[in-house]
Amino acid sequence: MNPILRVENVSVRFGGLQALGDVSFAVANNEILGVVGPNGAGKSTLFGVICGDVHPDAGSTLLAGKSITGKSSDEIARSGLVRTFQTPRPFTTMTFLENVTLAALTKTNDVAIARERARLVLDQVGLSDCCDRPSSGASTGQRKRLDIARALGTEPSVLLLDEPLGGVDPGSIADMLALLKRIRDRGVTLVVIEHNLEALTGIADRLIAMTLGKKIADGAPKDVMSDDRLVRAYLGDDDAAA
C-alpha cells in the first residue's frame, strides 16, 4: 500500500467517555475507504481528529508521510485534506458561488481565480444553475452537494465525507454515488462515513468498522459486512444470534 493518510493509535476522551480508543489505519492513495458503525461509534470524532478540529489525547496523524497531529484545520486544509460535515454548515447569508469562492481562497489570494475555481466545482457537483442563489434556500441534497463543492474548492488530495447520503432523497442517491466516483477518478482520495451500507459497499474499495470508539474490522467490503462483530454491533448480541 502507498498510504496518503495514516492514523496511528489515536485516543480521545470527552470527560469520562472514551470516544476513540487506540484507533489505527492507513488509507491508500486514490482509494475510497468506507467507515461504518452504529451511532456513537466515534466516526465523526475520528474525522474531527484527522482534520484538526478535535485534539487527540494520544496518537498521531500523518498526511503524505508528514505529521499533521495538532495542526489547525486551516493549516491541514492548505496541506490538502478537508472534511464535509454530517450537518452541512454553509454561510447562509451568501450565495452558492460566494460560499465556494471563500473556500477556494484558502489556495489563492486572487478573487477572480477563486471565483473561476468555484464555478468549475459547482458545475462538477451539478449546481451550476444555483451559483447566484442564496444558499439559505438550499434543499438537503443541494446542501450536501454545496458542502462537497466547498471542500473541492480547496483543491484537496484527501476528502473526508461525513454521511454524504444522509437526508438525500432516494431518487438522487445514484447521482451522488456517481459524483463521488468522478471525484475519485480525478485523483482525490476519499474517506466516507455512511449509514447506507448497501450504497457504500457499491463504491468503497475497503471498509473499516467501528463500535464504541474501537476499530473492529478492516478489509474488503464483503468481508467486513459479514463480520460477526459488525453484525453484533448493529443488532446487539441477542438479535444477532437470532
Instruction: Assess 14 for contact with ligand ATP (CB under 6 A).
Output: yes
Q: Which is nearer to Mg ion, 117 or 144 (CB)?
A: 144
Residue range at the interface with ligand ATP (CB under 6 A); choices 37-45, 94-102, 138-146, 234-242: 37-45
- Each residue 13-52 as x (binds Mg ion by CB under 5 A) or -, in order, gives -------------------------------x--------
User: What is d(CA 192, CA 123) in angstroms, rounded to the nearest whole number?
Assistant: 22
Look at strands 32-36 and 206-211 and give their pairing: parallel
Element housing 52 (H / E):
none
By CB under 5 A, is residue 172 in contact with Mg ion?
no
* Calpha distance 179→152 (Å, rounded): 12
Taking CB under 5 A as the rule, which mask of x and - marks residues 81-100 in contact with Mg ion?
-----x--------------
The answer to whether residues 97 and 131 touch, using CB atoms and an 8 Å cutoff, is yes
- Name the strands in the sheet holding 66-67, side by side, starting at the edge strand that comes first in the sequence: 17-28, 3-14, 58-63, 66-67
Write out the three cell numbers for 220.
474488503
Q: Applying CB under 6 A, does 4 fall inside the site for ligand ATP? A: no
Q: How far is the C-alpha of 69 from the C-alpha of 8, rounded, in Å? A: 10
Q: Which does 14 bind (CB under 5 to 8 A by kind): Mg ion, ligand ATP, none?
A: ligand ATP
Positions that interact with Mg ion (CB under 5 A): 44, 86
Contacts with ligand ATP, residue ranges (CB under 6 A):
14, 17, 19, 37, 39-45, 86
